[in-house]
Amino acid sequence: MTPMQYTTLGRTGIATSTLVLGCARLGSALTPLTHRESLALVEEAFTLGVRHFDTASVYGQGDSERLLGEAFADRRHEVCLSTKAGQRLTPAQAAIARFKTPIRWLAARRSGVRNTVAEQRARGVPRCFEPDYIEDSLHESLRRLRTDYVDIFYLHSPDAAVLSDATLMARIEQMREQGLFRAFGISCDDDSVASATLVHQGVQAVQFASDDGPRTRGFARELQRRGKFGVVRGLAQKAVSAASPTDASPGDQLRDRFERTLALPALGGVIVGTTNRAHLRENVEAFHRATTAAEVAA
């Protein structure tokens, strides 16, 4: 297996792997992994060369961060940790957190329970971008991650208007000066927010879903022109299908999409989200094949 590709994130000086493990489902009630199996997944990603791990305050009701904190407590400086703030659990979702072990057991065996939990998740979560809440959320994330700083701190799916909140941005800059995070970013859900990040001087990182087309390439060029970097998500899920016009295998489709994404300017990372170790290895192998092809082409 070829070595992992590494990159420096924009002008931040943060050097890490281009491939990112997305940890949204790590610790989830619908993820049928034990505590030990979850740690083994993270460890395998590390062994395969992944050094960037992306999480959020609400992922797994906080257990995603707790697992990463446990995994890297003794080697914090060997990894890049990204987390997000701005979403909060509903009372029903908080209740799931208190009874997660039996709920996970039942969800794996009873479709009705699994569907109920999935419906709760599909309803989404409330958002709050009040300065005090964002600061408290970051401190709680640091506690769960067992660290005194994160490498990238994102606002989690804000509206474009949030970026114009001068009081919030002043608080975020204050937290940056305190050394609580190294780079500030926005995790975007729509084009209006993505456009707002381009003109916001304080934003260094932009996480967004790729459409694998001109829109994404144009946005990436603007990020580069403005000295920012992008982290792409959703690539693996969109790439794999049972059949394609070219009859390419799912693995070849994924490799091709990795290759096109790696050609984007200002690329800081490509997120793959999985809780299956075999799927993780398939993603890493497709990524390696893409980087090899890109090196040969160069």
* Token pair recorded at residue 63: 């257990």
Q: What is the mean pLDDT of the chain?
A: 90
Say how far apart CA 265 and CA 229 lie, in whole Å. 8
CA atoms in the 13 A half-sphere facing the CB of 152: 36
**According to the model, what pLDDT value does residue 243 have?**
44
Say how far apart CA 20 and CA 203 lie, in whole Å. 20
Q: What is the rounded average pLDDT of the residues 259-278?
A: 96
**According to the model, what pLDDT value does residue 241 have?**
47
Q: Pick 242 or 18 by higher pLDDT.
A: 18
One-character DSSP codes across 176-221 = HHTTSEEEEEEE-SSHHHHHHHHH-TT--EEEEE--SSHHHHHHHH
Residue 172: pLDDT above 80? yes
Residue 186: pLDDT above 60? yes
Residue 115: pLDDT above 70? yes
Q: What is the rounded average pLDDT of the residues 189-211?
A: 96
Which tens digits make up the pLDDT trace of 234-252?
A: 876 654 544 455 567 888 9
Largest CA distance in the chain: 53
**According to the model, what pLDDT value does residue 127 have?**
95
- Tell me how far CA of residue 167 lies from CA of 126, 138, 170, 171, 228, in angstroms: 21, 17, 5, 6, 23
Phi, psi (rounded to 5 degrees) for 79: -130, 160
**According to the model, what pLDDT value does residue 147 have?**
98
Model-level pTM?
Answer: 0.92
Query: What is the CATH superfamily name and number for domain 6-88+125-297?
Result: NADP-dependent oxidoreductase domain (3.20.20.100)
The number of helices, as runs of H, and strands, as runs of E, in the chain is 12, 10
pLDDT band at 23 (very low <50, low <70, confident <90, very high): very high
**According to the model, what pLDDT value does residue 293 have?**
78
Contact 82, 151 (CB under 8 A): yes
**According to the model, what pLDDT value does residue 29 have?**
79
Q: What is the rounded average pLDDT of the residues 96-123?
A: 71
Please report, for the chain, the start and end positions of each structural domain, with discontinuous segments joined by +: 6-88+125-297
